[in-house]
Structure 1
Amino acid sequence: MTKVTIYVTLRESVVDPQGIATTDALQKMGFEEVKSVRVGKLIELEMDGSEQAVEARVKEMCDELLINKVIEDYRFEIGEVAGK
C-alpha cells in the first residue's frame, strides 16, 4: 500500500484572503514576527499500484479534480503506509 501526500497552494500571483486574515489575527494576538501567511490544502491518499502507476494516477486526479489549475499549484510525495 502506498501513501500519497498532496500539497496544494495558491499560485504566488493569487491573492490569499484567508492568509491575509490569518496574518492580521496573529499580529493582533501579539505574534508581530509573523509577516505573511499563505493557506493551502493537504490531501492524503492510500493507493495500490507500482510507484510509476501511482504517480501517473495522482497527476491525473490532480489535473482533473483535486486542484484548480488556474489558481493553484501542487506537489506530492509518495511513501509507504506505516504499519500496513
Structure 2
Amino acid sequence: MQTKYLAKIFVTLRPSVLDPAGVAVQSGLQQLGYDNVDQVRIGKYIELTITSTEEKKARQDLDRICDQMLANPVIENYRFELIEVETQTGVF
C-alpha cells in the first residue's frame, strides 16, 4: 500500500548566522513606524508531495532530501510537517 504525504518544510538560518535580509526588513519596518518589531529572520518555505509505503520511511527520505538539497546544514536549520493526503491500495 502506497501513501502520499504533503510535506511542509521550513528552513531558517541558525541563530548564530547573521541575516542581512532580516536586518533590511526590520529597518524598513521601523521606517514605516513599526518600532515594536525587535528582530526579523528570513527563511524558506517549501511544499512537496512524497509517496512511501510507511510514514517512517517518508520521514527518513525527507530528512535526507532536506539535508542534501533544500538546506545548507552548516548555516541553516530545518523542520518539516508531514500530512497524509491519499492512500492507494493495490487492485487485485
- The TM-score with structure 1 as length reference comes to 0.92
Listed as ranges, the gaps of 5+ residues in structure 1 are none
The 2-side partners of 1:54 and 1:46 are apart by 10
After TM superposition, give the deviation of residue 80 of structure 1 in Å: 2.3
Of 15, 40, 46 in structure 2, the residue corresponding to residue 12 of structure 1 is: 15
CA distance in 2, matches of 1:51, 1:42: 21
Counterpart pick for 1:44 among 37, 43, 47: 47
Q: 4+ residue runs of structure 1 moved beyond 3 angstroms?
A: none
Aligned residue pairs, count: 82
Aligned residue number for residue 90 of structure 2: none
Amino acid of the structure 2 residue aligned with 1:52: K
Match of 1:72 among 73, 76, 82: 76
Q: CA deviation at 1:71?
A: 0.4
RMSD: 1.2
Deviation at 1:64?
1.1
Task: Note the alpha carbon deviations across 1:12-58, whole angstroms, 9 max, x for none.
Answer: 00000000000000010011111110010011111111211110100
Residue type of the alignment partner of 1:25? G
Task: Give 1:40's aligned amino acid.
Answer: G
Structure with greater strand percent = 2
2:65 to 41, 44, 61: 61
Give the TM-score normalised by the residue count of structure 2: 0.84
